[in-house]
């Protein structure tokens, strides 16, 4: 599935920071209107907004401009071919502004709906809008755009299609292949801050039939 060590280190660091925060006080003023829009099979190497191998492990935690000044790569190197699902969803909430105003991290967590505590990492934590990775440290690109009153905003995330088991990880990660066995996937947007407050959106279900259909439409290879 290609060399993804740099990206995986970044994800591990991000989740190790977020997880304890979600154990604190959960905010009641959270985005609760996330709605699934579409699922499309794509290739990692074609997604310019996604970091590649060799990207700084601090991507998503430190401002991209700061990382560049530190001499660390924000984009990483060329990405190998790797099947992903691009999942679009809408919310009336400006998630970027919400994270900035509350000093929250902004990430997503995806899991198999029928066994949520299973040790399987399905998604990259990043949330995107129009080709831009959103986050507390990156400023609010949405705020600079003219939005129709009460219009929903379309965001997207990326989910792995397949992963080999990683018994050496702590905890060990189980493998899966949605091409061989499609399953219902759930995801939510969440995060926290240094004061111990956290938030989690409503849960969005991606039906296995929708996943199977998207994968059948994927180009050969």
Whether residue 96 is predicted with pLDDT greater than 80 in this model: the reply is yes
pTM (two decimals):
0.81
| Angstrom distance (rounded) from CA 195 to CA 197 | 6
Percentage of the chain beyond pLDDT 90 is 46
Q: Average pLDDT in the 118-130 region?
A: 89
Whether residue 113 is predicted with pLDDT greater than 70 in this model: the reply is yes
Q: Average pLDDT in the 152-171 region?
A: 92
Q: What is the predicted pLDDT for the residue at 195?
A: 80
- Residue 65 tokens read as 């401009």
Whether residue 76 is predicted with pLDDT greater than 80 in this model: the reply is no
Q: How far is CA 212 from CA 3, 195, 206, 209, 217, in A?
A: 26, 41, 11, 5, 9
Residue-wise pLDDT for 57-73, tens only, equals 766 666 677 767 777 66
Q: Average pLDDT in the 130-158 region?
A: 80
Whether residue 16 is predicted with pLDDT greater than 80 in this model: the reply is no
Q: How far is CA 58 from CA 9, 105, 135, in A?
A: 9, 13, 12
What secondary structure letter does DSSP report for 220?
Answer: P
| Angstrom distance (rounded) from CA 157 to CA 62 | 19
- Band (146; pLDDT cuts 50, 70, 90): low
- Residue 129 tokens read as 């809008």
Q: What is the predicted pLDDT for the residue at 4?
A: 42
Q: What is the predicted pLDDT for the residue at 194?
A: 79
| Angstrom distance (rounded) from CA 56 to CA 75 | 8
Whether residue 175 is predicted with pLDDT greater than 50 in this model: the reply is yes
Q: What is the predicted pLDDT for the residue at 19?
A: 43
Q: What is the predicted pLDDT for the residue at 5?
A: 40
Q: What is the predicted pLDDT for the residue at 127?
A: 96
Taking a C-beta distance cutoff of 8 angstroms, is the pair 63, 107 a contact?
no
Residue ranges of domains in the chain: 27-48+82-216
């Amino acid at each position: 599935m290609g060399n993804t060590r740099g990206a995986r280190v970044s994800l591990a660091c991000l989740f190790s920071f977020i997880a304890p925060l979600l154990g604190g006080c959960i905010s009641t003023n959270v985005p609760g209107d996330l709605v699934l829009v579409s699922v499309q099979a794509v290739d990692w190497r074609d997604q310019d907004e996604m970091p590649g191998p060799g990207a700084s492990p601090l991507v998503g935690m430190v401002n991209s401009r700061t990382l560049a000044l530190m001499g660390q790569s924000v984009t990483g190197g060329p990405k190998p071919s790797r099947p992903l699902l691009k999942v679009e969803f809408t919310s009336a909430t400006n998630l970027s502004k919400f994270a900035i105003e509350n000093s929250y991290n902004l990430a997503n967590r995806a899991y198999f709906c029928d066994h949520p505590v299973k040790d399987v990492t399905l998604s990259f934590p990043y949330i995107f809008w129009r080709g831009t990775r959103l986050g507390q440290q990156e400023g609010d690109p949405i705020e600079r755009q003219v939005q129709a009153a009460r219009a929903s905003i379309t965001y997207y995330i990326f989910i792995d299609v397949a992963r080999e088991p990683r018994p050496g990880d702590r905890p060990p990660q189980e493998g899966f292949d949605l091409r061989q066995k499609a399953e219902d996937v759930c995801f939510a947007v969440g995060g926290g801050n240094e004061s111990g407050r956290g938030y989690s959106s409503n849960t969005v279900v991606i039906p296995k039939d929708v996943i199977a259909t998207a994968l059948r439409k994927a180009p050969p290879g």
